[in-house]
A and B are shown apart, each in its own frame.
Chain A
């Protein structure tokens, strides 16, 4: 019984749609969403030795797939103070977008926080925004005199509606990136 009336009804409905349909259905988001798909850490030794890099990819950005494991080992030498830089990219776009530039352009609304574990290892932010508050795209990493292993969490914090406070030690705004890198010191 259902079948017999279902078809004419669906056809009728289509006719109504035809009658005054003025929007063509579509799923095509316009504009550009902020996707960061790769976080790269670069550590440069002061003496001009080999530059050490590692990155974490998220193959679908904000999608439900988990980020991949860290690519590249951060094998560091004890007692050395490295100068570091972080880089955010959208590698899903073509050409690849460097989000780091956006963050620098909006330095007053952003800050990168570093949380480090590992005995005797410290990380200090070395750059500032236009109001002399820490920015964190560049940092120095001071290593212990003894061998250890640890982790470095990188949090890109976005201050949209909350105000950026120079003395803050953790993100009080919206988190745009939160990824953890492993490193070893020998």
Chain B
């Protein structure tokens, strides 16, 4: 039975109309900087106990589209904590205060009508390398103090915006990607991926069938304004899926002042002859009855790519197309803020033709034969995937007295995944082989309380329900219902230079599978429930100005997912016959990590080392070959073992002279099966990246840079025996050049433009985590042009 579902999932038609309506008249006004009036902000900086804080860095910044005008004013507080800033514009500004030994404070001030006198209370904390979070989020900030976290802020993202999420973060320390060509890339954090790495998209857990390694996160790359990666278990705040880490994607905050303005972003990629175009319009001048002035943003993104090219041949059928849209509405009021967003992501992508095989003999033949000469084409043939992801999200943040906050997030997500293959009679060839529909509902409530006897923290509850429909010609996983509820608390105690962060979470999860039986496949109905507690304890100590160390322990767990329990069928591309095991138990991890963060004049360094013991680690264990009428397939059964992951990563930047910036990152992961001492499958190879960049600001060409970098990847020799993918891969090194400018005047507008060349020497290589590496080389040289133009 197919259930006709919500008309909400057909929202894209509505958005199309809205966008036409918006762009139709094309009267995009630019935000006006109000330089008529000059405002004044003064006040006192105090610690939370009321003592004055001297020598605090006080910054007021504001937005203006006129590049000739100042955007920032800065001063330091005197010995009694006083500060005074004059000549500020009469508009909404952001006040930021930083002082040694305190967490940075940020406040939005509205100077449209009057000057401000205020007292800023600073919370004691350790120093942090990252910039002040663009969005104040107490719970996240606390976690980041003790957990290794990397953030790509707006400036860093500007140079690589619009790529897939995996591509965007793959150069961060501790991060790598599993790739199925250029169209599918999946984040790997400290050696773990898929159902062990949670993607948080604008406050919601992204529910897009992430259990499949060939299921890439369904997120529009142009929406991301800040991307951060928490390495290591963060299950207390984010739930069982965050056992390996969290990738957070946040869009730009909705404007709360100014009239409508637009943005046009364009990209071209030479390798796959890809073009991408994203149009956005936003403003704060929408007047709604009963609500009043409302901020809004609309975005429409499209992208078309053809076959990628390896140095000697094209990768057949690796093109993809995307069409995404989003609408966001939000208000900011004295009581807090509220947002309503609807997004739709739609993609159609090809899967490498050679990777689709009938049985193990076919696989052997394809692996041994040279990749065929394939021509360039934009067309997408079988095998292919069509995925649509629709999200509706309502988010409210209430500001309560004494710096308390109450946040409510409701989300509805509908993921529709269709995978097509070449099997079956002609008259059914247009039916998807796999047709999965996943409906998710979630409600999160978080309360951040005021400091009580030195403790400040967040208490929250999270409930979620999911329903999955398995349609399509072939069986992969059964339909299921999932419901889960959780209670958690994360608290921070700040004692002078020491900051202690601890958290506890209880989860209850119920999984009900729906019976499936046809003449061939039998999958039983059943309900299982899991309850467990996760906890973490971390501490950071500020040794001296710009140098802190941290130590953190985390216990996490996750229940087996439906595919791990009930998978039954051939995994195309590897010809693996995968069998689930319904009796699998929970997986538990005990991790310990330490980190050091140092910062000085013109340099900064961050290093972390960890050990993560995962008991009852769920993985695919090779078993006897499975015989079917189609021949033999290598058999794999989901099983559990004792695993251990160890690793280290570092990142550093150094500016020997002002205009030159050198940076380096490195990642090392070792995964071991503690039962047999052998290596774990799918561990990234050791890698390091070095780059240099020369920058000049304030020239006639804007703030321009030119740089070069190299990525060095060692041979992966830690590979388990007996797997099809056990072939080790050779080491390789890639060279990259980039150059660009920000604030370059084009058609009278301050445009951002950049060009980069990846794999500049057109090196032939196969990455260990490339799932096409049995068949073809990875992509060759790519020249990427990016242009962002305010309208």
Contacts and interface: CB of A to CB of B under 8 A. Distances in A.
Contacts of A26: 1, 3, 469-471, 479, 514
Contact of A62 (B467, B469, B483, B569): B569
A178 interface: yes
B516 A64 contact: no
B431 A30 contact: yes
A50 interface: no
A170 B368 CA distance: 14
B272 interface: no
B516 A66 contact: no
Nearest to A33: B473
A176 B630 contact: yes
Interface in A36-85: 36-37, 39, 56, 58, 60-64, 66-67
A165 to B, nearest CB: 12
Contacts of A10: 483, 485, 508, 510, 529
B521 A176 contact: no
Contacts of A19: 441
Interface in A75-114: 92-93, 99, 102, 105-106
Contact of B485 (A12, A24, A171): A12
A25 B473 contact: no
B356 A12 contact: no
A27 B629 contact: no
Contacts of B424: 31-34
Given A31-B431, A177-B629, A5 B508 contact: yes
Contact of B533 (A2, A20, A66): A2
Give the size range of B's interface with the partner: 35 or more
Interface in B323-353: 353
B412 interface: yes
A27 B478 contact: yes
Contacts of A35: 519-520
Interface residues of A, number: 64
B431 A64 contact: no
A53 to B, nearest CB: 17
B630 A17 contact: no
A1 B358 CA distance: 52
Nearest to B464: A13
A179 B469 CA distance: 34
Given A2-B533, A21-B439, A174-B422, A39 B468 contact: no
B486 A9 contact: yes
Interface string B446-480: 00000000000000010111011111111100111
Interface-central residue, B353, B464, B486, B508, by most chain A CB under 10 Å: B508
Interface string B401-438: 00000000000101000000111111010011101010
B439 A6 contact: no
B299 to A, nearest CB: 25
B212 interface: no
Nearest to A1: B506
B317 interface: yes
Given A32-B425, A161-B382, A172-B365, A178 B631 contact: yes
Nearest to B514: A27
B499 interface: no
Contacts of A32: 424-425, 428, 431, 473
B519 A37 contact: yes
B481 interface: yes
A17 B441 CA distance: 7
Nearest to B521: A63
B472 A30 contact: yes
A4 to B, nearest CB: 10
Nearest to B3: A24
Contacts of A99: 425
B785 interface: no
Nearest to A38: B629
Nearest to A19: B441
Contacts of B484: 9, 13
A23 B465 CA distance: 12
Given A29-B470, A31-B424, 18 more contacts: A2-B508, A10-B483, A16-B464, A17-B467, A21-B465, A23-B5, A23-B414, A25-B514, A27-B513, A27-B523, A30-B473, A33-B424, A33-B474, A37-B629, A62-B521, A66-B626, A176-B358, A177-B629
16 contacts: A10-B485, A13-B463, A24-B1, A25-B469, A25-B481, A27-B470, A27-B515, A29-B473, A29-B516, A30-B472, A61-B628, A64-B628, A92-B518, A102-B426, A175-B630, A178-B359
